[in-house]
């Protein structure tokens, strides 16, 4: 079905270690992303039984060469020199229809040399969460890994309790992380480090090869992609939940969804992850954490760069500091789109700051607020105004903000900015309680709610009755305030 290549496996061990999947008891296909498979070059799709065997790891895919990837990482600020794929296997790479090399990886396929005593399995819940959220992000145009398949294992996985198991198939531009470079640097083998860096330049940033200092240019390119990525996350209220350096993609994609969630009632210090007790990865902390992660990346590249001594450190530091400017520029562009302002409006930042304050103080739902604001901008009726004001506990304060905003906004039904505003403000996100409903039903053997939710979140601007039902904020009794990693 897929034609695999194996460029990454040519890198020296321990960056890649050949490993076989551990068969599961009774694989059954939950979902298969046929459009993505065709994008990856698949011409014919086999039957569900064959797909279940392939994407559980029970039957090797033709031309696959499975292996686990080595990486290190700062986990909540503490460096661990060896982590690696403890429950994942890279099957190989494919060249998609756009000529882009992309990884195909099984997740939950059994123990590897990096499992550190773990079982190498995944519970069903995190598989369904990653499938839903990653495909929503793709539909929103936010750089992300993709979901190709999900398969139940017919086995139980013990975490907080015994849960049904599953295997997830993930597609990425690559699975190379900041932690991969930290792992190579920890080997104190400059040849290994250079081989990894050269591979990344060739694969992701070929323009850097012609720079005066290719490794400085690599750092600049990775910083730029991460700055844009984090700004786009925050524009839809995404909270990654576990922004360790081993979850920071060199390709600039969202990776390792784990305990992720989306902001509902706006709070800059919002945290959902059950393991983030200190709020290190709270919503508003994400830009600073990304910059911190990139500083760790810069440290690994220093031995390869041309400058020496203090000049070298200053040069790398200057690049890391540019993150703020790059992030702010992308965020300002997104703010203008979300508010329906002219692209270069000087009022985008102050108006957004004031609205975020209103959302926080008025206990407003972020997605519902911007959706209602979009409707009001496109059709400024009393009905739409009242729908917006109904979202806040402080309607007089929001009314005052609306008067200031209306003096600046340029969107109308026929405005060229209307499409930008709508595309920046989804009707629906994968709300925590809806994702949990789908997971709970699946644990009882009913996957219909998962498929219904998947169909809706992959069309995030759908105005259908079903979309509106699933887009509604959680009631007090429906709220899900904690998410879990699943490892």
Question: Residues 6 or more apart from 131 whose CB is under 8 A from it?
Answer: 31, 147, 150, 168, 450, 454
Nearest residue to 15 (alpha-carbon basis) of 168, 173, 174: 174
* Alpha carbon 451 to chain centroid, angstroms: 20
Helix (H, G, I), strand (E, B) or coil at 464: coil
Residue 349 burial (10 A CB sphere; 0-12, 13-18, 19+): middle
Question: Residues 6 or more apart from 396 whose CB is under 8 A from it?
Answer: none
Which DSSP category does 10 fall into? Answer: G
Residue 246 annotated to the active site: yes
Sign of CA dihedral 140, 146, 151, 152: negative
* Residue in this structure with the two tokens 């945290």, named with its chain if needed: 271
Q: List the Cα angle 326/329/334 in 5-degree steps.
A: 125
Helix (H, G, I), strand (E, B) or coil at 163: strand
Q: Which two three-digit tokens encode residue 435?
A: 């994702």
Query: Beta strands of 47-204 (E only): which ranges?
Result: 67-69, 73-75, 78-80, 88-95, 101-107, 122-123, 146-158, 162-172
Question: Residues 6 or more apart from 222 whose CB is under 8 A from it?
Answer: 205, 250, 252, 294, 297
* Residue in this structure with the two tokens 């496996």, named with its chain if needed: 9
Nearest residue to 123 (alpha-carbon basis) of 87, 148, 81, 73: 87
Distance CA 173, CA 204 (A): 8
Nearest residue to 103 (alpha-carbon basis) of 181, 187, 16: 16
Candidates 85, 103, 246, 371; catalytic one: 246
Active-site residue list: 246
């Amino acid at each position: 079905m897929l034609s695999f290549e194996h460029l990454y496996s040519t890198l020296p061990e321990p960056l890649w270690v050949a490993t076989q999947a551990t068969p599961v008891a009774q694989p059954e296909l939950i979902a298969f992303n046929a459009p993505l498979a065709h994008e990856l070059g698949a011409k014919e799709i086999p039957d569900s039984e064959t797909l279940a065997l392939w994407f559980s790891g029970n039957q090797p895919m033709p031309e696959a060469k499975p292996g686990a990837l080595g990486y290190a990482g700062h986990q909540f600020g503490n460096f661990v020199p060896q982590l690696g794929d403890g429950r994942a296997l890279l099957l190989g790479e494919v060249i998609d229809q756009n000529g882009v090399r992309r990884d195909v990886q099984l997740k939950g396929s059994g123990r590897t040399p990096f499992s550190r005593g773990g079982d190498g399995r995944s519970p069903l819940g995190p598989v369904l969460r990653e499938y839903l959220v990653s495909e929503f992000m793709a539909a929103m145009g936010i750089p992300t890994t993709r979901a190709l398949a999900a398969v139940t294992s017919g086995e139980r996985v013990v975490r907080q309790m015994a849960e049904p198991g599953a295997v997830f198939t993930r597609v990425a531009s690559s699975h190379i992380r900041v932690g991969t470079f930290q792992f190579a640097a920890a080997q104190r083998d400059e040849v290994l480090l250079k081989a990894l860096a050269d591979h990344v330049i060739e694969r992701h940033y070929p323009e850097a090869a012609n720079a005066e200092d290719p490794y400085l240019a690599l750092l600049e390119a990775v910083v730029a992609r991460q700055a844009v990525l984090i700004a786009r996350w925050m524009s839809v209220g995404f909270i990654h939940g576990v922004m360790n350096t081993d979850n920071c993609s060199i390709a600039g994609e969202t990776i390792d969804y784990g305990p992720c969630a989306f902001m509902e009632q706006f709070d800059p210090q919002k945290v959902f992850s059950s393991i983030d007790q200190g709020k290190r990865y709270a919503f508003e902390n994400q830009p600073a954490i990304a910059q911190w992660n990139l500083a760790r990346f810069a440290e690994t590249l220093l031995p390869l760069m041309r400058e020496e001594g203090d000049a070298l450190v200053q040069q790398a530091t200057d690049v890391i500091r540019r993150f703020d400017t790059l992030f702010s520029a992308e965020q300002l562009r997104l703010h203008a789109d979300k508010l329906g302002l002219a692209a270069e409006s000087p009022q985008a930042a102050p108006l957004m700051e004031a609205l975020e304050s209103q959302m926080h103080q008025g206990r407003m739902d972020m997605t519902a607020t911007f959706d209602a604001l979009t409707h009001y901008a496109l059709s400024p009726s009393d009905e739409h105004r009242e729908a917006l004001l109904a979202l806040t506990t402080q309607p007089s304060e929001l009314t005052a903000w609306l008067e200031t905003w209306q003096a600046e906004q340029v969107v109308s039904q026929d405005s060229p900015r209307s499409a930008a505003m709508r595309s920046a403000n989804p009707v629906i996100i994968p709300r925590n309680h809806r994702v949990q409903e789908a997971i709970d039903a699946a644990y009882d053997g009913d996957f219909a709610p998962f498929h219904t939710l998947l169909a809706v979140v992959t069309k995030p601007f759908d105005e259908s009755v079903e979309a509106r039902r699933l887009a509604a904020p959680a009631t007090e009794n429906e709220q899900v305030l904690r998410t879990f990693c699943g490892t």
